[in-house]
Amino acid sequence: MLNSLAGAVAARHDFGHSGLLFDDSTIVAAESSPYPAQIGRLAIRSLYREAALAPKPGLVSPESTGSHGDMDFATFMRSLHALRGYFSAIADCGRQGPGFGSLQALGIDAEAAMLLATAGVNTHRGAIFNLGLLCAAAGYLVADGAILSAEVTCATVSHLWGSEILAGSAAPAAGETLSHGQFVARRYGTGGARAEAAAGFPAALELGLPTYRATLAATGDSERAAIQALFTLMTELEDTNLLWRGGLDGLMHGRRSAAAFLEAGGVFADDWRAHAAAIDRDFIARRLSPGGSADLLGVTLFLAALDGLA
């Protein structure tokens, strides 16, 4: 569970000294290290790991286009290439403790770069939002010399920008149409990605990350740990992409399928790959894709990397 948000942010001054070292998985204190670039690399690495994971139900992987006729794994790689500079730039911006508007402007530019690289296909809009906020929070924390942790970084997002994030979810700006997430939130009364971020990513902290940690400790296999975390997120998340594609029936089918996978042993079962692949085929037939859960798996992998677990 999250600690007191204000207390967690206030406690950042007790975490260490200025700067960072990066060994491809963890961030620790060291003088005059280029930490925004290191934070950005953690974000890109986490998104690559999520995209490369297989089999995933209805989602793009190196083996499949999932339930998506307009994108494939190569599309995701072009998108990640276009976003390489964004996550380090927003981490650098976060050092100043900016208002949400400054972060939003960087996100708008990043989305334009993504769409240019993918010929208009939305591959990483959720990641631009979620991981952008977390990178900015990480930049803010280390500016005074913090050793980062998942819990404090999430709490910082909520403390610094939570109210502005929620204010922005009320309605689209003048001249804009409702996003899929906003449409689903209004129709079904769900909070969506903005509510999750404003609360400090509780699903990632309380579902995805503990599952990832426990499975990695038990198996030593980061791929199996990530699959287990994805299915765990699917069991409880109000996945707006499932709602958009399949309505309440689609959401409940996705949750039941994920729960059945876990009840059968999840990645600890000998036939876990075959079971996951069967769910993937079922989702493709139904045109379902748990994109919200995939976004939070990316968050989970980033948070695990901050804690030196990836």
pLDDT value of position 34? 62
The per-residue pLDDT for range 126-174, each reduced to its tens digit, is 999 999 999 999 999 998 787 789 999 999 999 999 999 988 765 555 5
Average pLDDT, the chain: 86
What percent of the chain is predicted at pLDDT more than 90? 74
Q: Is the pLDDT of residue 213 over 80?
A: yes
Q: Is the pLDDT of residue 16 over 90?
A: no
Mean pLDDT within 183-210 = 83
Q: Is the pLDDT of residue 185 over 70?
A: no
Q: Degrees (nearest 5) of the Cα angle 70, 72, 78?
A: 105
pLDDT value of position 148? 86
Q: Determine contact, residues 204/155, Cβ cutoff 8 Å.
A: no
* Number of domains the chain is built from: 1
Task: Give the whole-angstrom CA distance, residue 66 versus residue 108.
Answer: 27
pLDDT value of position 32? 41
Mean pLDDT within 53-61 = 97
Q: Determine contact, residues 110/128, Cβ cutoff 8 Å.
A: yes
Cα→Cα distances 109→20, 116, 121, 181, Å: 27, 11, 15, 20
Domain span at residue 217 reads: 5-306
Mean pLDDT within 56-64 = 96
Mean pLDDT within 81-90 = 96
pLDDT value of position 18? 31
Q: Is the pLDDT of residue 6 over 50?
A: no
pLDDT value of position 67? 95
pLDDT value of position 147? 78
Task: Name which of 232, 295, 253 is nearest 59 in CA terms.
Answer: 295
Q: Is the pLDDT of residue 302 over 80?
A: yes
pLDDT value of position 186? 58
The per-residue pLDDT for range 217-266, each reduced to its tens digit, is 999 999 999 999 999 999 999 998 999 888 999 999 999 999 999 999 99
